Amino acid sequence: MGGARSGTVGVSLSALPAWQARLAAVGGCTLPGVLMRLGGVHPAPMVGLFVFGGSVVSAAFMLAWAAEAAEVDVSPGLAVAGVALVAVLPEYVIEIYFAFTAQVQYVTASLTGATRLLLSCAVGMPAIASLLLARRGGRRLQVVNLRPERRVDLAIIATASLYAPVIVLRGHLYWTDALVLIGLYVLYLRRVATGSPDPPHLTGVAAALGKLSKRSRRRWVLGIMASSALIILVTAEPFADAVLGTGTMIGISPYVLVQWLVPLATESPELVVASVLVTHNRAAQGVAVLLSSAVSQWTLALGTLPIAYATGAGSGPLTLLGREQVEVMLTMGQALLAVAVMVTLRLRRGDALVMLTLFAFQVALPSPAIRVGLTLVYLVIAVDILASERWAIPTLRRSLRPPANARQ
């Protein structure tokens, strides 16, 4: 093509604006997994874990950037919920895959792990914020004051948690559970649509996208979302299989890997977004993002599992094995504790340390017997806090009602 037109990929990237070069570099990290999947290559489990996992995580970051930039054009009330829903897509696809293929022993593993990870980081925000701010020379954070709109998140989480024992006692997920849980998510969207959350705080690639003209921004956002979602759909299945194969190969319970490794990889963009918000003294908005993601997992994702199971390889209700029943109850206990410590909209560092400590125990000690004990600990602490702060409980119930002007 001629010397003036020749050059390496590095030279081509350097000629792009910084945000486009970064986007192209992250997009390039998705190619090995996509090419392997489309080419029918079946690598060793450990190799597949890094190759397909790299594709999923890279696509997840691209999705998060596009979703954040979309906040500029999305109606304010749905901004946080929309970002959270898009951000949990990688995790959501993997959960649906296990249900669709009737791998009932893993069907709730990543869902319960992701929900507890999100709730632990949300409640642990004051402690996490103190650590991050102290390292940057800032003052330690003692309390995070949440906006009144967060009562809707807490009310939905509490309602879904109080419904969870019904599923556990019955021993299976049925279409009626799908109606209840998906209905709760629809109610959540209706309530947050009337709120007025914090304005978006964009950084990095998302900030550059937000500065584009409206027409250009929409083209970029839609293009990034579509390509990222396609990449996730292509690579999520081999990534999940690689996780299971790696666990079998190295002697670690595949269930444990699915429960913690998959959520840690797929939820990493949200955790990064929350961390960035903390470093910019917006810890409350970081809590909001994590809480909204937890709502999506605990209602929409859980409610969709029996539908995916019935339309896939399964028939009848989706049976929960004994271990999965314990995991659902543990998630319920942790969710109720999260609601209890945030019911007054004042999240204290002491509560954050308690939540993070209990979370560390459940990760380090996966024994079902210990999980039953931790469930009781969560419930006892939650009931004690709610009893002392019972004056704040009615406000949660009222947050689910339509505003007065909407009823007129």
> What pLDDT, on a 0 to 100 scale, did the predictor assign at position 100?
86
CATH label of the domain that carries residue 45: 1.20.1420.30
Give the residue-averaged pLDDT of 186-191: 86
How far is Cα of residue 350 from the mean position of the Cα atoms in its chain? 24
> What pLDDT, on a 0 to 100 scale, did the predictor assign at position 190?
82
Residue 394 — pLDDT band, cuts 50, 70, 90? very high
> What pLDDT, on a 0 to 100 scale, did the predictor assign at position 365?
87
Place of tokens 């666990």: 247
Q: Supply the pTM of this predicted model.
A: 0.84
Tokens read off for 284: 């409350």
Domain membership flag for residue 408: no
- Contacts of residue 388, Cβ cutoff 8 Å, sequence gap at least 6: none
Rg over alpha carbons for the chain, rounded to the nearest Å, is: 21
Count each helix (H run) and each strand (E run) in the chain, helices first. 21, 4
> What pLDDT, on a 0 to 100 scale, did the predictor assign at position 8?
60
In angstroms, rounded to a whole number, what is the distance separating the alpha carbons of residues 356 and 120? 6
> What pLDDT, on a 0 to 100 scale, did the predictor assign at position 386?
94
Q: At residue 309, does pLDDT exceed 60?
A: yes
> What pLDDT, on a 0 to 100 scale, did the predictor assign at position 4?
46
DSSP state for residue 281 in the 8-state scheme: T
Q: At residue 81, does pLDDT exceed 80?
A: no
> What pLDDT, on a 0 to 100 scale, did the predictor assign at position 9?
56
What is the tens place of the pLDDT at every residue in 130-175? 776 666 666 667 788 888 889 999 999 999 999 999 999 999 999 9
Domain membership flag for residue 9: no
Tokens read off for 23: 């986007």
β-strand pairing of 172-173 with 143-145: unpaired
Domain membership flag for residue 296: yes
- Segment of 59-73, 137-151, 314-328 carrying the highest mean pLDDT: 314-328
> What pLDDT, on a 0 to 100 scale, did the predictor assign at position 102?
82
Coil/strand/helix, residue 40: coil
What is the tens place of the pLDDT at every residue in 3-25? 444 456 555 656 778 888 888 98
Domain membership flag for residue 300: yes
Domain membership flag for residue 324: yes
Residue 1 — pLDDT band, cuts 50, 70, 90? very low
DSSP 344-376: TSEEEHHHHHHHHHHHHHHHH---HHHHHHHHH
Domain membership flag for residue 233: yes
Q: Which residues pair with 236 in a beta bridge?
A: none
Q: At residue 196, does pLDDT exceed 50?
A: yes
- Residue type for 344, please? T
Q: At residue 94, does pLDDT exceed 80?
A: yes
| CB-CB contact of 133 with 142 (8 Å) | no
What is the tens place of the pLDDT at every residue in 221-245? 889 888 888 888 888 889 888 988 8
Strands, E, within 106-210: which ranges?
A: 143-145, 172-173
pLDDT, averaged across the chain? 83
Q: How many domains does the chain have?
A: 1
Domain membership flag for residue 148: yes
- Contacts of residue 113, Cβ cutoff 8 Å, sequence gap at least 6: 258, 259, 260, 262, 263
- Segment of 41-50, 75-84, 140-149, 271-280 carrying the highest mean pLDDT: 41-50
Coil/strand/helix, residue 160: helix
> What pLDDT, on a 0 to 100 scale, did the predictor assign at position 215?
87
In angstroms, rounded to a whole number, what is the distance separating the alpha carbons of residues 345 and 343? 5
Percent of the chain residues topping a pLDDT of 90:
29
Domain membership flag for residue 8: no
Q: Which of 52-56, 133-137, 223-227, 275-279 has the lowest mean pLDDT?
A: 133-137
Q: Which of 124-133, 322-331, 347-356, 369-378 has the lowest mean pLDDT?
A: 124-133
Query: Of the candidates 344, 350, 309, 351, which has an alpha carbon nearest to the alpha carbon of residue 119?
Result: 351
In angstroms, rounded to a whole number, what is the distance separating the alpha carbons of residues 68 and 63? 9
> What pLDDT, on a 0 to 100 scale, did the predictor assign at position 101?
85
> What pLDDT, on a 0 to 100 scale, did the predictor assign at position 6?
47
- Contacts of residue 333, Cβ cutoff 8 Å, sequence gap at least 6: 374, 375, 376, 377, 378, 379, 382
Give the residue-averaged pLDDT of 215-224: 88
Torsion angle (degrees, nearest 10) of CA 189, 193, 199, 205: 50
Residue 103 — pLDDT band, cuts 50, 70, 90? confident
Query: Which comes out higher in pLDDT, residue 121 or 401?
Result: 121
> What pLDDT, on a 0 to 100 scale, did the predictor assign at position 210?
84
> What pLDDT, on a 0 to 100 scale, did the predictor assign at position 374?
95
Domain that holds residue 285: 16-399
In angstroms, rounded to a whole number, what is the distance separating the alpha carbons of residues 90 and 239? 11
Distances (CA, A) of 235 to 49, 60, 241, 337, 356: 11, 12, 10, 35, 32
> What pLDDT, on a 0 to 100 scale, did the predictor assign at position 133?
66
What is the tens place of the pLDDT at every residue in 29-41? 999 999 999 998 8
Q: At residue 327, does pLDDT exceed 70?
A: yes
